[in-house]
Structure 1
Amino acid sequence: MCRAIALPLIMLGVLSGCAGQSLDGYDAEGRASYYGGKHQGKRTASGEKFDLNALTAAHRELPFGTQVLVTNLLNQKTVVVRINDRGPHNRSRLIDLSQRAAQQLDMLRSGVAPVRVQRLAD
């Protein structure tokens, strides 16, 4: 009985972190990686300079400027990032995160993590 109640409460807590923002259709699971130092200051596909301390990400399909909620499926930690680049170039990955976003998901040590990516409404 307690377990039946616990999971919905946990999910409510996770989603309350993005209160005021609703989901907008895109919902996918896959593997995330991150990129950092060697890309610092280089131009992204959107034309802006890459900042490893910004909450940004690369995705193959989503439009630039799209905000997505990324959930690390191993620990349920979440972060909201803005798509500003194209990638990942490794076809086995769904999204490439900035180093700061990866840090918030607690995936710096592993370098790769299973994630859920959900588009947020504008």
Structure 2
Amino acid sequence: MRSILRICSRPGLVAALALSLAACSTPKVQPTKAGGRYYLNDGPPKGITQAQIDAVQEPVPKAERFVSGALKPYVAMGKSYRPMNKLTPYQARGVASWYGTRYHGLPTASGELYDVMKLTAAHPILPIPSYVRVTNVENGRTLVVRVNDRGPFLSDRIIDLSYAAAAKLGYAAKGRALVEIEVILP
């Protein structure tokens, strides 16, 4: 205990210790064949064919009861978010990323389990669940996804899609793409 107090009384040492611990927890990034990048242990599912991706059907937008716990204000990575509590017109343009096998089978903000082969998305403020039309600006492909999770929390990204959604939009190999999103009002 005394050694901890001695360390805490030296701000420089505390900062150095914190930085070295943070470096240990920084996710390792792995390159893809197409020049994109994804976090180590979060790549695409193995053995998935393009035919399987093509067979995944878009969700049909419908009115659903919002998940009350996902409507509460929250803080992520030091930034405060206030989710929308009703569906209103919403459009945005920015970078989309995707998340894969690292989160497969884990609970989303909706309480549902994440499935890399469903057309779902994470958004920091849209009601959960809601439906969004996503257009890849680079190739013109458009897709409807169901928002059931929170994220992404990196400042340069507006939406995080499931692996299947990113593959159908043609950017899974790159890791991210410029997209336009628009809420679908049922």
- Of 82, 101, 109, the residue aligned with 2:146 is 82
Question: What SS does structure 1 have at the residue aligned with 2:160?
Answer: strand
Q: Does 1:50 align with 2:109?
A: no
* Whole-Å separation in 1 of the counterparts to 2:160 and 2:115: 13
* Whole-Å separation in 2 of the counterparts to 1:33 and 1:62: 17
For residue 119 of structure 1, what is the aligned residue in structure 2? Answer: 183
Q: Which has the larger radius of gyration?
A: 2
Q: Does 1:99 align with 2:171?
A: no
Q: State the Cα distance separating 1:107 from its structure 2 match.
A: 0.2
Question: Which protein is richer in strand relative to its size?
Answer: 1
* Whole-Å separation in 2 of the counterparts to 1:94 and 1:73: 14
Deviation above 2 Å: which 4+ runs of structure 1?
none
Q: Deviations over 1:16-64 (max 9, x none)?
A: xx9xx7xx61111010000011110001111110000000000001001
Structure having greater relative contact order (Cα 8 Å, sep ≥ 6)? 1
Question: What SS does structure 2 have at the residue aligned with 1:48?
Answer: coil
Q: State the Cα distance separating 1:66 from its structure 2 match.
A: 0.7
Q: Number of residues paired by the alignment?
A: 102
For residue 5 of structure 1, what is the aligned residue in structure 2? Answer: none
- Over the residues paired in the alignment, what is the CA RMSD in angstroms? 1.7
What TM-score, normalized to structure 2? Answer: 0.53
* Whole-Å separation in 2 of the counterparts to 1:42 and 1:94: 22
Structure 2, gaps ≥5 residues long: 1-57, 62-87
For residue 97 of structure 1, what is the amino acid of its counterpart? L
What TM-score, normalized to structure 1? Answer: 0.79
Identity of paired residues, percent? 46
